[in-house]
Amino acid sequence: MKKIFIGLLLVAFLLPATSHYIPVLKSTGSIDGHQLSAGPISGGQWQSVYAQSVTQNFPIGTRLQIDDRVFRYCQAKGTTAVAMKAGHNGTADLGVNTYAEIYAIGETELRVEDTNTRAVNYYKDGYVWIMDLVSGVYQMHKIKSSEVAAAADDHVHIVLYEGISIAVPASTFVSIWPNPYSNILFTTSAYSSMVCVPLIPVTTDYYFWGQTWGPCFGTAMSAIPGAASADRAVYFNSDGALINGASLTTNGAQLAGYVITMTSGGGDQFYMLQITP
């Protein structure tokens, strides 16, 4: 028994610190064994990629890899999501100033002007970009947390994961963004980028796993991708549907990925999704 225990300790020691096993799901949603994940996942009750939840079970933006597919934990907003149509990042940047204070190198807490009412951790795992015109050096940091704020406060208090690398003068211009997976909209917009594809219909305000990389199936807008010769790239329409390259009417359409299968006999909506690996 002692030899077995020592052997298990050696195996645990040799495994990478980030090793984490996740459920392999059957089509029914039940668990059929486990496999190695690309990184640790912390949270509450397990939630299938084929299920939505009114309760948040994982931190927004949590990365989940199942075989060759990658997912991010998201929250839907606005109208109900349509399965296999991509969803927009519904948050815009807030270009404002820091509060009238000087922040020294290494500080992790900043006060940023914001006249909106904000829930606690509204900016959690978002980003702040600091433009210092005095030094000419810019810096960008990820936000660890943010406090609840009322519109009357005129500011919001944010905490960074790491200290600032350059001292920040008082009232320095910043741009601040919430977590891109915290406000997924399923509407038609030519001014928002797609950040994920839900595998199921998702009710507004519910939490779900949105696919961001790997083999995927999509809804075609008109012509099926791959129907034309040498037409392999797939793009997103403004409503989240797929467009083939020959049907593009505007420049700058967001690339969705490429058609996986041979399509000499017609197009295919089975494609390699390439948003975030």
Q: Is residue 8 part of a domain?
A: no
Q: Is residue 42 part of a domain?
A: yes
**Beta carbons within 8 Å of 100's beta carbon, 6+ residues apart:** 170, 171
d(CA 124, CA 178): 7
Q: What average pLDDT values come out for the chain (277 residues) when binned by 10 residues?
A: 39 36 64 61 82 94 91 89 83 87 94 92 95 83 94 91 92 93 91 94 94 94 83 91 84 91 87 96
Give yes or no: residues 63 and 188 share one domain: yes
Give yes or no: residues 225 and 276 share one domain: yes
- Examine the fold and report which residue of 177, 204, 237 is the final residue of a domain before the chain moves on: 177
Find, among 61, 76, 58, 66, the residue nearest to 23 by Cα.
Answer: 66
Give yes or no: residues 161 and 185 share one domain: no
d(CA 267, CA 232): 10
Number of domains in the chain: 2
Give yes or no: residues 82 and 197 share one domain: yes
pLDDT at 40: 63
Distances (CA, A) of 146 to 76, 88, 106, 169, 262: 21, 23, 18, 21, 49
Please tell me what DSSP assigns to residue 260: -
pLDDT at 209: 96
- Examine the fold and report which residue of 123, 147, 177 is the final residue of a domain before the chain moves on: 177
The structure's pTM equals: 0.83
Give yes or no: residues 222 and 87 share one domain: yes
pLDDT at 145: 96
Q: Is residue 3 part of a domain?
A: no
- Examine the fold and report which residue of 150, 177, 204 is the final residue of a domain before the chain moves on: 177
The boundaries of the domain holding residue 109 are 94-177
Owner of token pair 């994961």:
161
pLDDT at 45: 81
pLDDT at 10: 35
Give yes or no: residues 190 and 81 share one domain: yes
Give yes or no: residues 166 and 82 share one domain: no
Give yes or no: residues 59 and 20 share one domain: yes
